[in-house]
Amino acid sequence: EVQLVESGGGLVQPGGSLRLSCAASGFTLSNYTMHWVRQAPGKGLEWLSYISGTSNTIFYSDSVTGRFTISRDNAKNSLYLQMNSLRAEDTAVYYCARDGVVVVPGQFDYWGQGTLVTVSS
């Protein structure tokens, strides 16, 4: 059974940092592109970043470029999101998601349960 479990969320002050983790099981992580998607309270979904299976290809949305860094450790079956210079508007539930498409990334076939990040003083 495919499972994705996020951790690392919590309360952080503006300007602070946080590292999210996503533990994957039930599939071979290295075979899949992985994404981070977030959802602010009561709002819609926002794609943030993706990383290819071998980490050769990485993309970010403009809203997090230069502040967030996606990475993965396939040997540890884990995906990460390092978040720096956090702002109040980064407050959201952060989801990791697996990409189900080989050629054109962008189809989220499995999602974690999410981890809440709150940026507040």
Rule CB under 8 A: which residues touch other proteins?
35, 44-47, 50, 59, 61-62, 95, 100-101, 104-109, 111-114
Minimum distance from residue 66 beta carbon to other proteins (Å):
15
Minimum distance from residue 44 beta carbon to other proteins (Å):
5
Q: How big is the chain, counted in residues?
A: 121
Residue 39 vs 82, nearer CB to other proteins: 39
**Pairwise CA distance, residues 38 & 57, whole Å:** 20
- Would you say 98 and 6 are in contact if contact means Cβ atoms under 8 Å apart? no
Minimum distance from residue 121 beta carbon to other proteins (Å):
27
**Pairwise CA distance, residues 96 & 115, whole Å:** 9
Residue 60 vs 80, nearer CB to other proteins: 60
